[in-house]
Amino acid sequence: MSMVIVMEHTASEEHVQKVIESLVEVGYDVHRSSGVDYTVLGAVGVPHRPIDPRLIEVLPGVREVIPISEPYKLASRTFRPEDTVVDVAGVPVGGPEVIAMAGPCSVESPEQVSAVARSVAASGARVLRGGAFKPRTSPYSFQGHGEEALRWMRAAADENGMAVISEVMDPRQIEMMMRYVDCLQVGARNVQNFDLLKELGRCASRCCSSAGCPPPSRSGCSRPSTCSAAATAR
């Protein structure tokens, strides 16, 4: 059984470490979230021996222990009650400000994306979005300009003081795309592509889902330099 342990605001670092040690000893993975008022510990995984939550609750400094059954434990409000605000190249995504991300569905030329970037920036958009890879039903149809399109987007965004987001289709594209984008978009077709999602989780990139994810696949990642849901928080 996974659980969330909320520490008292007066709990010392020694109290917190004692609880962590008790959980690790029985086989839990412990994730710590230190807020302004409270420290919260998320105990997840399968312990090699069961432990009664009441034994944790009586430890010094523990305010309460909350058993949780949701599969998306680390993304739940139980573990992280405050909103997650992700910094995407200086643009705060997830806070009270509504952030507009706009641009062409398909990036077709440097002139096109430059003109669109100027237009959407003048309208208040903070992030330039555009499709560099466009999978089609027919192999003979236009598939997008790929890395060249990303270079055009980066130049247009820099000219207009914007961040860049573009959809990633394949784990093999991640390293290359991170040279140009500030956020990797996961489209509706890939919200259950777990090979891609796992690779995004391993990298240090901010990700945004453009479609709602079912609870089991709510995961995200964050990148300290350029490239979330984030979308969901990691």
Amino acid found at 171: P
Q: Which residues fall within 8 angstroms of residue 136, CB to CB, at 6 or more apart? A: 142, 143
- Provide the domain count of the chain: 2
Which residues of the chain register pLDDT less than 70? Answer: 70-71, 73-74, 204-205, 210-234
Query: Residues 166-204: pLDDT tens digits?
Result: 999 999 999 999 999 999 999 888 888 889 988 888 876
Q: Give residue 219's pLDDT.
A: 36
Q: Give residue 70's pLDDT.
A: 67
Q: Give residue 208's pLDDT.
A: 77
Of 75, 98, 115, the residue that ends a domain is 75
- pTM as predicted: 0.64
- We report the CATH number of the domain holding residue 101 as 3.20.20.70
207 with 104, same domain: the answer is yes
SS3 of the chain: the string is CEEEEEECCCCCHHHHHHHHHHHHHCCCEEEEEECCCCEEEEEECCCCCCCCHHHHHCCCCEEEEEEECCCCHHHCCCCCCCCCCEEECCEEECCCCCCCEECCCCCCCHHHHHHHHHHHHHCCCCEEECCCCCCCCCCCCCCCCCHHHHHHHHHHHHHCCCEEEEECCCHHHHHHHCCCCCEEEECHHHCCCHHHHHHHHHCCCCEEECCCCCHHHCCCCCCCCCCCCCCCCC
The reply to whether 222 falls in a domain is: no
115 with 170, same domain: the answer is yes
The reply to whether 22 falls in a domain is: yes
123 with 14, same domain: the answer is no
The reply to whether 230 falls in a domain is: no
207 with 103, same domain: the answer is yes
Q: Give residue 154's pLDDT.
A: 97
Strand partners, 88: 91
Q: Give residue 158's pLDDT.
A: 97
- We report the CATH number of the domain holding residue 50 as 3.30.70.1140
62 with 91, same domain: the answer is no
Q: Give residue 210's pLDDT.
A: 64
22 with 118, same domain: the answer is no
Domain boundaries, position 49: 2-75
